[in-house]
Amino acid sequence: MTSTIDNYDQHRRNRLGDVICEYMDDADCDARRTYEEFLAEIDDWAQYHKQQYDKAVELKSLMLGNRPVDLDDYRKREDDKRAYEELQDLWYRTDAELAEYKDHYHKVVNQLMKEDVNDNVSL
């Protein structure tokens, strides 16, 4: 197995030598151009892998449930139109308005629970 790795390492080194040889043998290509093209190629590789990394991170985030809720589907259905409007209304409220809404919601729920308890007692 080591000989296969050694052969591959040597083959890769030979390919690099061939590329360098092409640049050195080209009379129209000076050392500065060779240097800049090597750096440009490295930058291209880095950019490509960054894009692939960003794509993988975004996919992982989506897979973990971090995705926007698309309310357009609900807005189109007549039954869900009111729920959609309520969600939109909540979405654009300030923190103070949300706290007030939360307090109101708790009062309503507590009242309903008391009514439910009273109804069950009278049975």
Kindly report, residue by residue over 35-57, the tens digit of the pLDDT. Answer: 999 999 999 999 999 999 999 99
Kindly report, residue by residue over 57-109, the tens digit of the pLDDT. Answer: 999 988 887 776 665 555 566 666 676 677 777 777 778 887 887 888 888 88
Domain that holds residue 83: 72-122
Kindly report, residue by residue over 52-70, the tens digit of the pLDDT. Answer: 999 999 999 888 877 766 6
User: Residues, the chain, total?
Assistant: 123
Domain end position, chosen among 63, 84, 101? 63
Q: Is 34 exposed, middle or buried (0-12, 13-18, 19+ CB in 10 A)?
A: middle
81 and 50 inside one domain? no
Report how far residue 117's alpha carbon sits from residue 123's, in angstroms, rounded to the nearest whole number: 10
Nearest to 73 by CA among 64, 62, 84: 84
Report how far residue 81's alpha carbon sits from residue 77's, in angstroms, rounded to the nearest whole number: 6
What pTM did the predictor assign?
A: 0.46
- The two tokens of residue 122 are 């009278």
